[in-house]
Amino acid sequence: MSWYRNSVWFVKGLREYTRGGYESASKHFNPADVEVDVAGRSFLVTGANSGIGKATAKEIARRGGTVHLVCRNQERAEVAKEEIVTETGNQNILLHIVDISNPKEVWKFAEKFRNEHQLNVLINNAGCMVNSRELTEDGLEKNFATNTLGTYIMTTALLPLLEKAADARVITVSSGGMLVQKLNISDLQSGNGPFDGAMVYAQNKRQQVVLTEQWAKAHRNIHFSVMHPGWADTPAVRSSMPDFYRRMKDSLRTEAQGADTVLWLAVSAEAAKLPSGLFFQDRQPVPTHLPLAYTHSPPGDEEKLMQMLEEFSQNFKSVSPG
């Protein structure tokens, strides 16, 4: 059924995920939803030095929020911070250098952050698509380490801080590509069979949807959501999907258009009125499975994923300071 899922997803993408899809959907947006003042609220954005992360951070800064930029590369992060401060006039932009693919680093950062800052909204945006099987220094497959385990640890470690906050939210940037994948807990690090970076990435994005649904059930005081930004023209797309970019570059969304729903989920009162745990596209909750795609998994597999990630994460916590 993979050919069916891939073809249906691509046709859906051409219709909905491109710039034209955004322009059509945005006709129904209420601009007042995001015309808000969020001064006094604290936002953490991972992968904030470029693309959708930077566009999101910039729009939150324009609205007066305190923004914590979590980035891997010091030099690019400094440039992004300077750009955001200059363009928005908001001085409350703080920079943290963390490699999300390094679980020990993520634990260490989050534990320190918990002791020094408040947090109202966590935006899990950092991600990667590595097209050949690479291992991190910890022996973890890099896509899994960044997209799934890094997101899991960052969120889990900051939940105690979010539990104490007013109108706490967690938003995870996923992808419509997850629609072509059924949750597979038997090979989390993609060590069996041929390696397809795009499909590994899509599996990670399916895992993020499951994480969001499971967290929403377990933490009722926090509003969780996961979203698809559409097909946007970002540095990550250009570098990781060069053939796709060449074919689609004239139809891709801008970074700001890709970030629009992240911003809406992070700042609007309307978003918080909707149930926790949903998957969003263009400010609307949408199904997490294509019709007839057979991508539903047993609830036991979803619970098992959480157990497996908890065991993975604790292995790295035990060797981190604090």
> Which residues, listed in sequence order, are joined to residue 95 by a DSSP beta bridge?
69
Structural domain harbouring 207: 3-315
- Domain contains 221: yes
201 a catalytic residue: yes
Task: State the total domains in the chain.
Answer: 1
User: Which of helix, strand or coil describes residue 11?
Assistant: helix
Q: Is residue 320 part of a domain?
A: no
Any domain includes 187: yes
pLDDT class of 237 with cuts at 50, 70, 90: confident
Of 7-11, 24-28, 37-41, 155-159, minimum mean pLDDT range: 7-11
Angle made by CA atoms 250, 172, 103, in degrees to the nearest 5: 115
| Nearest CA-CA partner of 271 in 159, 151, 167 | 167
**Residue of 17, 22, 152, 201 marked catalytic:** 201
pLDDT in tens, 119-178: 999 999 999 999 999 999 999 999 999 999 999 999 999 999 999 999 999 999 999 999
Cα distance between residue 298 and residue 292, in whole Å: 16
Torsion angle defined by CA atoms of residues 38, 43, 46 and 51, in that order, rounded to the nearest 10 degrees: 10
CATH of the domain at 177: 3.40.50.720
CA distance 121 to 125: 12
Distance CA 160, CA 291 (A): 38
Q: Is residue 321 part of a domain?
A: no
Convert the pLDDT of each residue in 13-23 to its tens digit: 878 999 999 99
% the chain with pLDDT above 90: 85
Residue 290 lies in a domain: yes
Query: Is residue 83, in this structure, part of any structural domain at all?
Result: yes
Predicted TM-score (pTM) of the model is 0.96
- 149 occurs within a structural domain: yes
Residue 322 resides in a domain? no
Question: End-to-end alpha-carbon separation of the chain, Å?
Answer: 47
